[in-house]
């Protein structure tokens, strides 16, 4: 079976993808520098799949160190690039940290895949943030919606990296590229052996909800109830991380089987949920009471968007259809384990 390199393999999405790739029969080599994860994630993956994945502790911005992975594993045919910083607010305060880490690591990966890989199939982990705030008549978002100016340096790294891959696919004939644009990934593996590990106070909604329900945070702030949406709170497309992980397997399958040079997919459910709807779904699913209050809008938040996943549904034979209650229960189970 083909070998797939995962950068950021012990991160939130990387770890779930490692599990699904192994379940699908792939050989995996994971790399990470544990800048936002811990070696314990490897134990969690092992508990689920019953064996240790091949792993090397590497900082992908260090070309020479990264090159050693290809010397040790000359059979790499595909790579999925997760390794990146992802805190939007921090990226505004420290843009260079984001450009250096997120772009250098990716340039190194592309160069190594093109020159040292047995195959050069790259899946890039992108984000719906590349689209900015679409107009109402542009919803749901299709892949061909033009980008808006980036709303943060983090968003800009995603736009630039997509461009790097596109230009390189055009120039290097052995290189194939697939872009996966995630909407809002949430939840944890149903085993509760792996999940999201927020660093300090969570920025994202679901970890904040579960920490509040667990009594770690006093109260959830719902950022704004005066948006132009049915209940006034922001709307997002929340996608279960396990469904998301399965889309990566399909994307790799397709690249290896069909050799398609370039492809872009939106990965979402196709359904928008408001913050208040999500909060109520959590309470209903878990039976746990949640202390929340309406607070001011969070600067930089986009009012509403959700995906049109039709292309991924049709071409990958995939859909994200785990019920939201089940997804929120998985997040709650993981929180309790933490």
User: Per-residue x/- marks for ligand UFG, 37-76, CB under 6 A?
Assistant: ----------------------------------------
Cβ contact 153:98 at 8 Å:
yes
- Binding to ligand UFG in span 267-286, by CB under 6 A: 275
The interface region with ligand UFG, picked from 77-85, 132-140, 201-209, 308-316 by CB under 6 A, is 201-209
Q: Find the catalytic residue in 154, 227, 240, 305.
A: 154
DSSP states of 132-163 as a string?
A: -S--GGGPSBPTTSPPPPPSSHHHHHHHHHHH
- Scanning 117-240, the segments in alpha helix (DSSP H) are 153-171, 205-213
Give the shortest CB-111-to-ligand UFG separation in angstroms. Answer: 26
Q: Which is nearer to ligand UFG, 29 or 242 (CB)?
A: 242
CA distance 126 to 136: 22
154 is annotated as an active-site residue = yes
Pairing state of beta strands 273-274 and 235-236? antiparallel
Tell me the CA end-to-end span of the chain in Å, nearest whole number.
35
Residue 88 binding ligand UFG, by CB under 6 A:
yes
Residue count, binding to ligand UFG (CB under 6 A): 18
Q: How many residues does the chain have?
A: 338
Residue 298 binds ligand UFG, judged by CB under 6 A: yes
- Kindly tell me which residue out of 81, 86, 181, 254 binds ligand UFG, with binding defined by CB under 6 A: 86
**Cβ count near 281 (within 10 Å):** 18
148 scored as a contact of ligand UFG (CB under 6 A)? no
C-alpha span between 300 and 302 (Å, rounded): 6
Q: Which residues of the chain form contacts with ligand UFG (CB under 6 A)? A: 86, 88, 127, 129, 184, 203-205, 208, 220-223, 234, 236, 275, 298, 301
């Amino acid at each position: 079976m083909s070998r797939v390199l995962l950068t950021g393999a012990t991160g939130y999405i990387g770890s779930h993808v490692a599990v699904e790739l192994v379940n699908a029969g792939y050989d995996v080599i994971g790399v990470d520098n544990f800048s936002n994860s811990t070696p314990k994630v490897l134990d969690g993956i092992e508990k689920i799949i019953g064996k240790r994945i091949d792993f090397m502790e590497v900082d992908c911005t260090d070309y020479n160190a990264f090159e050693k992975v290809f010397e040790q594993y000359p059979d790499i045919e595909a790579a999925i690039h997760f390794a990146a910083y992802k805190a939007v607010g921090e990226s505004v305060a420290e843009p260079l940290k984001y450009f250096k880490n997120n772009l250098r690591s990716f340039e190194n990966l592309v160069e190594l895949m093109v020159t040292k890989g047995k195959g050069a199939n790259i899946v890039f982990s992108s984000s719906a943030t590349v689209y900015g705030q679409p107009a109402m008549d542009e919803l749901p978002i299709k892949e061909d919606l033009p980008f808006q100016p980036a709303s943060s340096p983090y968003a800009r790294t995603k736009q630039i990296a997509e461009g790097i891959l596109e230009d390189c696919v055009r120039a290097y004939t052995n290189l194939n590229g697939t872009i996966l644009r995630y909407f809002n990934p949430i939840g944890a593996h149903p085993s509760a052996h792996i999940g999201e590990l927020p660093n300090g106070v969570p920025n994202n909604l679901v970890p904040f909800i579960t920490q509040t329900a667990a009594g770690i945070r006093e109260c959830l702030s719902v950022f704004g109830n005066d948006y132009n949406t049915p209940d006034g709170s922001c709307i997002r497309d929340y996608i279960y991380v396990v469904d998301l992980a399965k889309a990566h397997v399909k994307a790799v399958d397709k690249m290896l089987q069909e050799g398609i040079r370039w492809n872009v997919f939106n990965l979402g459910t196709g359904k928008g949920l408001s913050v208040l709807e999500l909060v109520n779904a959590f309470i209903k699913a878990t039976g746990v009471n949640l202390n929340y209050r309406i607070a001011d809008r969070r600067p930089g938040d986009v009012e509403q968007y959700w995906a049109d996943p039709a292309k991924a549904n049709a071409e990958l034979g995939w859909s994200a259809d785990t019920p939201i209650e089940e997804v929120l229960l998985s997040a709650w189970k993981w929180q309790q384990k933490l």
